[in-house]
Amino acid sequence: MQTATFAAGCFWGVEAAFSKVDGVIDTKVGYAGGSTDNPTYEQVCSDQTGHAEVVKVEYDETKLSYQELLNIFFWCHDPTQLNRQGPDVGRQYRSAIFFHSPEQESLAKALIEEMNKSGELKAPVVTELLPAATFWLAEEYHQRYFEKKGVDMCHN
């Protein structure tokens, strides 16, 4: 089992997108990349802790590659928007990849470079590429939020 951690705006839709993929064992939403221990949703939403809303993905690498996860990550949000996704604004909604190994870092960096060179995007990719940080589990009511609400879509 391997771990990947992504920030792509509001974590509800991002989790929903990953949770349906064959080879994903589990997803959890939470917070990473900030300076406050065990932050609450309210603290993170204040945009004062430095955390991003993230999804931690546990996956079976014999069924699903990290490259495939990166493709889902970039499909599910606009990586050219700085510190926002749609109506959600603030650093907590930034686009970021928290890599767990040098291989993950290398694959993500190569894909970002390829996307920027392709000319297909309206602006350069602003996705941050950072070493995996402490993952703080979000409150229970955020876990599988769309599933609990009966929503079947990627929110971006």
CA–CA gap between residue 7 and residue 38 (Å, rounded): 17
Q: Between these two residues, 2 and 47, which has the higher pLDDT value?
A: 2
Provide the pLDDT confidence category of residue 133 given band limits of 50, 70 and 90. Answer: confident
pLDDT of residue 141: 80
Walk me through the domains of the chain, giving residue ranges and CATH numbers: 2-149 (3.30.1060.10)
Q: Which residues 6+ apart lie within 8 Å of 89 measured at CB?
A: 83
Percent of the chain clearing pLDDT 70 (strictly above): 94
pLDDT of residue 155: 40
Q: pLDDT tens digit string along 5-53?
A: 999 998 888 999 999 899 999 999 999 999 999 999 999 999 889 999 9
pLDDT of residue 156: 39
pLDDT of residue 110: 97
Q: Between these two residues, 69 and 11, which has the higher pLDDT value?
A: 69
Average pLDDT over residues 102-121: 96
Q: Which residues 6+ apart lie within 8 Å of 38 measured at CB?
A: 136
- pLDDT surpassing 90 at residue 134: yes
pLDDT of residue 152: 56
DSSP one-letter string for the chain: -EEEEEEESSHHHHHHHHHTSTTEEEEEEEEES-SSSS--HHHHHTT-S--EEEEEEEE-TTT--HHHHHHHHHHTS-TTSTTEETTEESGGG-EEEEESSHHHHHHHHHHHHHHHHH--SSS----EEEE----EEPPGGGTTHHHHHT--S---
Question: Token pair of 104, please?
Answer: 């993950």
Percent of the chain clearing pLDDT 90 (strictly above): 78
Which one from 10, 45, 76, 154 is the annotated catalytic residue?
10
pLDDT of residue 63: 97
pLDDT of residue 154: 47
Active site residue 45: no
Provide the pLDDT confidence category of residue 150 given band limits of 50, 70 and 90. Answer: low
